[in-house]
């Protein structure tokens, strides 16, 4: 039987990835003492690998495919095929930024001010390339973690990843510039990508994962309304495209089914009720395949 060897990111993306697979329809079970999880799909074999190392193992063929950050593909210089973005991260559904940051009271205001300074970061290659683009010579030290606390005693500046900037602000750091914007990506070994079965399996997996991501912040709404009040209801609904309108057994009534952002439900439900909508049902979504 053909099998897709798939790398699952261990570390900060791990929980979010396992949850995403569950919503997409795959149950991955991981023992606390094992790096080889089980998955309820006989055509997929999983291995837990740190995101920082994922692209290298995919490049060599130890894995057919894997999920990692675009940043780590760039940092390792790995020759892999990025099949798709999967825009989710540790805390929320978003891209992340690697930013150049300094203490709030630092005199450094722009990249040129870094000349002769020390920068601490996990992404040494990306940072060195960034400095080269700005014509700046500075020392870039690899940081094993807790990078925010290394300024100003151990470094003049840092390049650190952030989703919201909250951790940087909490450590009284000021962002100077964005070095790289990154998203989680599905990468594939180039030889494996040339195999029709493995490529189709990977693309079908991506389709379901992207559908789960698209549905994560949305809910479905189903309601009934008299035809005479339909336009008032439609004026209230912010639809994904156009709502589905179905005739009920009573020809004077219709059912309206649509998808909306969960964050706006509390604002529009009272308006729908005021527009004479009845039997309003909010229901969760697992996937939206566009």
Q: Give the percent of the chain with pLDDT over 90.
A: 77
Query: What is the reported pLDDT for 89?
Result: 59
Q: Report the alpha-carbon distance of residue 47 to residue 76 in Å, rounded.
A: 20
Of residues 92 and 82, more confidence is placed in 82
Per the prediction, the chain carries an average pLDDT of 92
Average pLDDT over residues 255-274: 93
Interval 200-218: pLDDT, tens: 999 999 999 999 998 988 9
Q: Show Cβ contacts of residue 265 under 8 Å, excluding neighbours closer than 6 positions.
A: 219, 221, 282
Q: Which sign does the torsion angle of CA 200, 201, 206, 208 carry?
A: positive
Indicate if the pLDDT at residue 39 is higher than 90: yes
Indicate if the pLDDT at residue 240 is higher than 60: no
- Model confidence, pTM: 0.84
Average pLDDT over residues 133-137: 96
Q: What end-to-end distance do the CA atoms of the chain give, in Å?
A: 31
User: How many CA atoms lie less than 13 Å away from 189 in the CB half-sphere?
Assistant: 20
* 280, burial (CB in 10 Å: exposed 0-12, middle 13-18, buried 19+): middle
Query: What is the reported pLDDT for 290?
Result: 75
pLDDT band at 92 (very low <50, low <70, confident <90, very high): low
Q: Report the alpha-carbon distance of residue 122 to residue 142 in Å, rounded.
A: 5
User: How many CA atoms lie less than 13 Å away from 253 in the CB half-sphere?
Assistant: 11
Q: Identify the CA nearest to 154 among candidates 120, 197, 189.
A: 120
| Tokens coding 284 | 């969760």
């Amino acid at each position: 039987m053909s099998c897709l060897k798939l790398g699952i990111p261990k570390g900060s993306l791990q929980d979010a990835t396992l949850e995403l697979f569950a919503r997409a329809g795959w149950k991955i079970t991981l023992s606390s003492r094992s790096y080889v999880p089980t998955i309820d799909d006989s055509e997929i074999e999983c291995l837990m690998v740190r995101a920082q190392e994922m692209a290298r193992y995919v490049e060599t063929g130890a894995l057919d495919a894997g999920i990692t950050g675009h940043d780590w593909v760039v940092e390792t210089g790995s020759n892999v095929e990025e099949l798709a973005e999967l825009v989710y991260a540790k805390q929320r559904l978003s891209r992340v930024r690697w930013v150049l940051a300094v203490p709030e009271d630092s005199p450094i205001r722009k990249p040129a001010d870094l000349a002769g300074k020390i920068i601490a970061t996990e992404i040494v290659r990306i940072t060195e390339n960034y400095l080269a683009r700005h014509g700046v010579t500075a020392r870039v030290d690899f940081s094993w973690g807790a990078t925010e606390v290394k300024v100003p005693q151990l470094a003049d500046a840092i390049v650190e990843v952030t989703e919201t900037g909250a951790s940087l602000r909490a450590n009284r750091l000021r962002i100077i510039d964005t070095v790289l914007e990154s998203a989680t990506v599905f990468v594939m070994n180039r030889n494996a990508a040339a195999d029709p079965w493995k490529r189709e399996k990977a693309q079908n997996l991506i389709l379901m994962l992207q559908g789960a991501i698209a549905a994560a912040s949305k809910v479905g709404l189903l309601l009934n309304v008299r035809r005479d009040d339909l336009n008032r209801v439609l004026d209230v609904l912010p639809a994904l495209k156009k709502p589905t309108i179905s005739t009920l057994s009573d020809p004077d009534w219709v059912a309206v089914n649509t998808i909306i952002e969960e964050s706006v439900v509390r604002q529009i439900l009272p308006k729908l009720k005021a527009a004479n909508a009845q039997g309003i049902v909010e229901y969760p979504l697992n996937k939206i395949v566009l």
